[in-house]
Structure 1
Amino acid sequence: MKQLSKLTLLSLIPLLAFSSEQTSQVLSDTKQEIIELKQKQIEQKEQYNKYDWLSDINLNGSIKKDQDSDTTRDFNLSISQDIYKFGGITSQIDYAKQLKKMESLSLSISTKEDLDTIFSTLLDAKINEINLEQNKLNVLNSEIDIRSKKSEYKAGELGISDLNDAIMTKNTLSDTQKELALAKLVNINTIKKYTSKNYKNIEIPSVKLMSKEIYLQNATSINYIKVENEVNNSLYEIKKSDYLPSLAVTGQYGYQDSSTIDGDDYYNYGLNLSMPLSYTSSNDIEQTRLDYLISKKELNDEKVSSETTYDEKVLTIKSYEERILLAQNDIKLYDELLEVNEEEYKAGYKTIDDVDTIRNSKMIRALDIKLYKLNIQKQILELYFNI
C-alpha cells in the first residue's frame, strides 16, 4: 500500500479508532472469540509456511535376521536439506509473509462486513420507525378524508365509488403499518445474530464522506487483490524452482551392531544435486503463471469496480440531498398554508380537519428529511466499511 499522507491519516483517525472500539463493544463475545482464534490460526500458518522448506530429521530403527540367524540392529538419524533451489527458498519465505497479509485482510473484510450489517440493519430499523410515524399521520389524514367524503356522500354531492376509494386507501395504510412493524422486528432480530447489546444502546458512528482518492487508496478489496497478486507471484517462483536443479546437503549418524560383529557408531555426509525431468512441467508452471496474470488483471478490474461503487454512492447521496431541499421547500409552503388555514378556522371559514390535514402533511415531509439523512448516513458508512 502506498505511504499515506498526514492529511489522509488524520481523515482516517476517527474510523480507525471506531473500528477497534466498535469491534470489541458491538460484536458478540462469540464472534470476538472466533476472530481471535482465526488470527492465531493465521499466525501459526505463517510460521509453518515460513519454515516449510526446512526438511525433517528422520529417526530410523531396524532389526533384521538373516538365513544364518544373525541379528543386525541399526539405529540412525538422517537428513537431506535443500540449500539452494534457484530462488525457491526465498520465494517460500516471501509466500508465507504475503499469505499472512492476505488472510489477515480477509479476516478484516469479514469483520467489517459483520459491523456493516449491524449498523446498516440498525439504520433500517430506525427508518422503519420513521415510516411507522409517517404511516400513522397518513392514517389520520385518511380518516379525515373519509369523514369529509362521507358527509359529501350523505349530502348527495359525492358518489359511492369516491367514498369507497377513501376507505380502501385507509385499509391499505393499515396493512402497510403491519408490514412496517414486522420489518422492524426482522431487522432487530438480524442485529441479535451479531451482537448481544440492545439495539437501542448501539451508537451509530458519525463519519463524513471521504474523497475518492482516499477511498481508492484504502479500499480493502483493492488491497486484498494486490496482496493476492504477490502471493501468486511467489507461488509462480516456487513452482519454477521445483523443476530446476536443487542442491541439498545430506547427512546420517547412527549405531549398528549384530550378533557376530561388535556394535559401532557410523556417520556420513555429502552433497546431492538433483533435477526432476517431467513431461508436464511446462503445463504445471504455466498454470501458476496464468494464476498470477489473472490476479493482475483482476486488480485492474477491481479498481474500476471500486471507483464505480464510490461514484454510485456519491450520486445516491446527492439525490437524497436534492430531495431534502424539495422537502424543505414543501415545509415552507405548508407553513404558509397552515397559517392561512388557522386564521380561516378561527374566523369560521375552515374546519379543524383542514388545519390537521395540513399540519400532518407538514410533519410527514419533516420526517422525510430524517429518512433522507439516515439513508445518506447509510451510504457513507458502507463506504467506510469497505476500507
Structure 2
Amino acid sequence: MKVLNLWITLLALSSISYADENSSESLEGYISDSKQKQFDYTYEKNEAESSKLRDSWISPFSLSYTFSKNKQDSEAIGTTAAKESEWDQESASISWSQTVFQSGGIYYGIKYAEASGKYADLSVDVTKRKLVKDTISILMQIKQIDLKIERQNLQIKNAEIALEQKKEQYLNGQLDSSFLDNAIIDRNLVIQALYDIETNKERLISKFEALSDMDYKQAAIPRLDLLDKKNFLSNNIVLKMNESEIEKNNYFKDVTTAKYLPKISFNAGYTWQAETKILGSFDKAENTSYNYGVTASIPLDINTFDDISSSRIEYLKSKVVIEDKKRELSAIYDQVMQNIDNLEKKKQLSIENKDIYEKLLDETKELFAAGYKTEYDVDLLRNSYEIAGIDFKIYEIDKQLELLTLYEMYKKD
C-alpha cells in the first residue's frame, strides 16, 4: 500500500510544474503588471473618494471680489454747463456657514464614508480575484492540453498500429474491406481531434498572454490545498463584501434619519467695499462690515417617512442577501468537494488501469520473445500503459481547477 501511495504522488508530480505557495500574493503574481497597476489606482481612488465623503460635512468658505468702473455725464436744464463724474468700485467678501450639530448625522456620515471605502475596496478585491482565477485557470488548461496532446499522439500511434494490423489481415483474406475502412476512419478521427486540441491550445495561449506577463512555457501552476468549509466561509471575500455592505447600509440609514432631525449651524461673514473717485468731489471712501450668528433649523419634507423607510428596507435587504449568499457558497463548496471526490475515483481507476497494462505488457513481451505475439501487440500495450499515466495527471489538474473555484473567493487577512 505504501508503494502504491508513493506511486500516486510521483504520478501527480511528474511532468507537471507546480508553484509551492498558496498565498494570495503569489496567486496575484500571475496577472500582468499593467493590470496590477490598474487595480492599485482603483484602490487609491477609493481612498480619495472615501476621504472626500468623510470630510463632506465641513462647509467651504465662500470668497468673492468685484471691481467695476463707472462714468456719468449730467447737464442741468436751461444751462449749457455739463458735469462729468467717474469712479471705481471694489468689494470683497468672505462667508462661512458650518453645521456644528446634526442629531448624530455628522458622526454617522463619517462612519458611512469609512464603511463605503471598505466596501469599495472589497468590491475591487472580488473583481481582482476573478481575474487572477481566470488567468491561472487558463494556464492550468494549457498545461493540461500539453498532456492531452501527448495522450492524443499515443492514441494516433495505436490507431496507426490497428490500421496496419487490419491491412495485414485484409491482405491475408482474414477480414473484408469494411473493417479496413473503419480502421482508416478511426485513424482520421483521432488525428482530427489532435488538430482541434492544438487549435484550442493556441486560443488559450492568446488569452493568457493578454492577462499575464509570464511565459506560459516556463510558468508553474500553483498547487492548491484542500480547504475545509469553515475556513472557506470565514475567509471568503464575497461574504466580507456583503458584511461590509450591511455596515454601509446601516450607517446610511442613520445618516438619512439624521437629515430630517434638528441641526445647528454657525454663520459668519465679512464684507469690504471701496469707492475711488477719479472725477468728482471725494477721493476714496471705504466701508467694512461683518456678521456672525447661530441658526437652528429642522426640515419639514413630505417625503421624510418614505426616504427613511427606503434606507431602512435597503439595510434589512442586505442582511437577508448575506444569508442567501452563505447558503449559495456552501452549496458551491459541497459541489466542488463532490467533483473532487469523483476525480479521485478517476485517478484511482487510472492507476488500476496502469497496473493492468503493466502486467499485460510484461506478459506480452514474453510472448513476443517466444514468437506468439507481434511487435504491434507490444507497442499497443506500451502506449495504453503510458496513456493511463497521462490520464492520472490530467485528472490531477482537473482537481486543481476545481480547487481554484474556491480560491477565487478565498483570501486570508
Please say whether Structure 1 and Structure 2 have the same fold, judged by a TM-score greater than 0.5.
yes
Higher relative strand content: 2
CA distance, structure 1, for counterparts of residue 316 and residue 179 of structure 2: 68
2:47 alignment partner in structure 1? 43
Residue of structure 2 aligned with 1:363, choices 386, 400, 403? 386
CA shift for structure 1 position 220? 0.7
Report 1:1-387 matches (<5 A).
14-15=21-22, 18-23=23-28, 25-62=29-66, 73-257=90-274, 262-387=285-410
- Check the 8 A contact 1:253/1:266 in 2, yes or no: yes
Larger Rg: 2
- Asked if 2 retains the 8 angstrom alpha-carbon contact of 1:338 and 1:355, the reply is yes
Q: CA deviation at 1:256?
A: 3.1
| Identity value in percent | 28
CA distance in 2 between partners of 1:268 and 1:375 (Å): 76
The amino acid across from 1:120 in the alignment is S
Deviations 1:212-238 (A, max 9, x none): 101000111110011011111122211
Aligned to 2:272, what secondary structure does the other structure show?
strand
CA contact (8 A) 1:219 1:306 kept: no
Deviation for aligned residue 1:284: 2.3
The amino acid across from 1:19 in the alignment is: S
Moved more, 53-62 or 295-304: 53-62
User: 3-state SS of the aligned residue for 2:301?
Assistant: coil
Q: C-alpha displacement at 1:173, in angstroms?
A: 0.6
| Cα separation, partners in 2 of 1:120 and 1:231, compared to 1, 3 Å | same
* Post-superposition offset of 1:54: 0.8
Say what the alpha-carbon RMSD is for the aligned residues: 2.3
When residues 279 and 72 of structure 1 are mapped into structure 2, their CA distance, relative to the original with a 3 A threshold, is farther
Kindly state the Cα deviation for residue 100 of structure 1 after the two structures are TM-superposed: 1.2
Shift of 1:194: 1.3
SS of the aligned residue for 2:211 comes to: coil
Q: SS of 2:98's equivalent?
A: strand
SS in 2 for 1:190: helix
Q: CA deviation at 1:202?
A: 1.9
SS at match of 2:292: strand
State the alpha-carbon separation in 2 of the partners of residues 256 and 295 from structure 1: 56
Q: Deviations over 1:183-211 (max 9, x none)?
A: 11111111111122211222222231111
Rounded to whole Å, the distance in 1 between the matches of 2:232 and 2:27 is 21
For normalisation by structure 1, the TM-score amounts to 0.90
User: Where does residue 4 of structure 1 map in the other structure?
Assistant: none
Aligned counterparts of 2:314 and 2:205: Cα–Cα separation in 1: 43
Asked whether the 8 Å contact 1:146–1:163 carries over to 2, the reply is yes
Give the letter aligned to residue 270 of structure 2.
Y
Q: Distance in 1 between matches of 2:37 and 2:346?
A: 43
- Does the 8 A contact of 2:27 with 2:222 survive in 1? no
Aligned-partner residue type, residue 25 of structure 2: S
Deviations 1:5-45 (A, max 9, x none): xxxxxxxx954xx332453x433231122122112111111
Report deviation, 1:63: 6.2
Distance 1:26 1:335 in 2: 39
Q: Does the residue aligned with 1:81 lie in a helix, a strand or coil? A: strand
Q: Is the 8 A contact 2:46 2:120 kept in 1?
A: yes
**What's the offset of the Cα at 1:381?**
2.7
Cα displacement string for residues 220-261 of structure 1 (whole angstroms, at most 9, x for unaligned residues): 111001101111112221112222222111111222345799
Aligned-pair CA distance for 1:368: 0.4
| Counterpart Cα distance in 1 of 2:400 and 2:21 | 15
Deviates more, 1:343-352 or 1:232-241: 232-241
Does the CA contact (< 8 Å) of 1:244 and 1:276 recur in 2?
Answer: yes
Aligned partners of 2:361 and 2:381 also within 8 Å: yes
Structure 1 residue identity aligned to 2:356: L
Alpha carbons 2:115, 2:244 under 8 Å: kept: yes
**What number of residue pairs does the alignment pair up?**
372
Distance 1:340 1:192 in 2: 48
Matched letter for residue 281 of structure 1:
T
Unpaired runs of 5+ in structure 1? 1-12
Moved more, 340-349 or 155-164: 155-164
Q: Which has the higher helix share?
A: 1
Could you tell me how far 1:285 is from its partner in structure 2? 2.3
Q: Is the 8 A contact 1:60 1:77 kept in 2?
A: yes
Q: Which moved more, 1:321-330 or 1:159-168?
A: 159-168
Residue 8 (structure 1) aligns with: none
Deviation larger for 141-150 or 259-268: 259-268
1:329-365 per-position Cα deviation (integer Å, ceiling 9, x unaligned) = 1111112211211111111111111111111111111
